[in-house]
């Protein structure tokens, strides 16, 4: 049985991540399956973990018996693994990086950022991304440092897989948040961490599981796509394959929630998701664009929340 915890404190993502769900959490939590409150859900599964806002919020509130997280992004999954198994060593590495950054002037900080970014990219081709690699802690520390000091907290790679986000020029970046990392490690202790395609989660899902899917959003136009968090992107063919995966889970009796962009923001006649998930509950909710190089275009748009059940708000 799921144990619900009443607490005002919680766990937040340790990375800034494009498409993070922190602002959408109230809407998502309002549409959770009734079985959660009834204590019938034992396993939480998130096949596209990203920054983990929903994962951490759900696990802090409900304390599932087990969780499963997955992602195609090797760097991201390695970072989760390092926090789970070696959080204290990671804190030491980040403390060293934070000190080295803080004592420098802006030019020195910029030079430090690019030297670490260069090393991060130089080491990648021959790096062993197995989750037990002892070098995972150094790699995770570099990723968190770059994420906290790069422009806009993006994770973006070029065609060769190299991290290419420029320096962010922050005055006081939060490079080390020890309490946050310790809390994250606590949540991850009962979590299975998987690198790979979302379908690898299938065998872990049964009628006592709740699956939340937050795939790379379908772009509203040719310039709005942030799907390249990993090489290959996430085109419509992948969205369609994901829908087949979700329908398979539905047949197994698994409760599933999906969030995605609303095509009608750009084209009122675009029924891509309505057709893809015909028969499921589909709701539009307001969301503010969190990443756009033009600040005037960070306005409120609608996003889709799709479920294979009827929530209390439906």
Gap between the Cα atoms of 72 and 186, Å rounded: 23
Per-residue pLDDT at 295: 47
Q: Which helix (H) or strand (E) segment is 255 a member of?
A: strand 255-261
pLDDT for 4 equals 47
Q: What are phi and psi of 191, to 5 degrees?
A: -115, 130
Best CA proximity match to 49, nearest among 22, 28, 77, 27? 77
> What residue segments make up the domains of the chain, in order of their start?
25-72+196-307, 81-176
Please, which residues have CB within 8 angstroms of residue 42's CB and are 6 or more apart in sequence? Answer: 1, 2, 64, 65, 66, 208, 209
Per-position pLDDT tens, the chain of length 314: 454 444 445 789 999 988 788 889 999 999 999 999 999 999 999 999 999 999 999 999 998 999 999 999 999 999 999 999 999 999 999 999 999 999 999 999 999 999 999 999 999 999 999 999 999 999 999 999 999 999 988 888 888 889 999 999 888 999 999 999 999 999 999 999 999 999 999 999 999 999 999 999 998 875 554 444 444 578 999 999 999 999 999 999 999 999 999 999 999 999 999 999 999 999 999 987 644 444 444 568 899 999 999 876 65
CB atoms near residue 141 (< 10 Å)? 24
What would the CATH number be for the domain defined by 81-176? Answer: 1.10.1020.10
Q: Which fold has domain 25-72+196-307?
A: Rossmann fold (3.40.50)
- What pLDDT, on a 0 to 100 scale, did the predictor assign at position 233? 73
């Amino acid at each position: 049985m799921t144990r619900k915890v009443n607490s005002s404190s919680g766990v937040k993502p340790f990375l800034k991540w494009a498409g993070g769900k922190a602002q959408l959490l109230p809407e998502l939590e309002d549409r959770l399956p009734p079985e959660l409150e009834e204590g019938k859900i034992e396993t939480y599964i998130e096949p596209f973990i990203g920054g983990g806002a929903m994962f951490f919020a759900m696990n802090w509130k409900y304390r599932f018996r087990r969780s499963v997280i997955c992602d195609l992004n090797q760097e991201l999954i390695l970072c989760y693994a390092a926090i789970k198994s070696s959080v204290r060593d990671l804190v030491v590495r980040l403390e060293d990086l934070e000190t080295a950054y803080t004592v420098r002037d802006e030019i020195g900080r910029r030079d430090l950022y690019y030297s670490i970014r260069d090393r991060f990219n130089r080491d990648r081709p021959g790096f062993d991304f197995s989750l037990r690699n002892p070098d995972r802690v150094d790699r995770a520390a570099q990723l968190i440092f770059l994420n906290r000091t790069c422009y806009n907290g993006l994770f973006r790679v070029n065609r060769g897989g190299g991290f290419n986000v420029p320096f962010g020029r922050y005055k006081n970046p939060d490079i080390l948040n020890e309490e946050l990392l310790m809390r994250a490690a606590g949540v991850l202790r009962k979590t299975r961490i998987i690198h790979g395609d979302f379908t690898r989660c299938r065998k872990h899902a049964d009628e006592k599981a709740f699956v939340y899917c937050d795939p790379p959003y379908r772009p509203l136009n040719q310039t709005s796509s942030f799907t390249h968090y990993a090489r290959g992107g996430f085109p419509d063919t992948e969205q369609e394959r994901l829908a087949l995966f979700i329908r398979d889970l539905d047949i197994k009796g698994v409760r599933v929630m999906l969030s995605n962009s609303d095509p009608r923001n750009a084209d009122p006649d675009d029924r891509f998701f309505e057709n893809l998930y015909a028969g499921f509950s589909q709701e539009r909710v307001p969301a503010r664009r969190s990443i756009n190089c033009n600040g005037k275009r960070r306005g409120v748009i609608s996003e889709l929340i799709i479920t294979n059940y009827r929530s209390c708000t439906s």
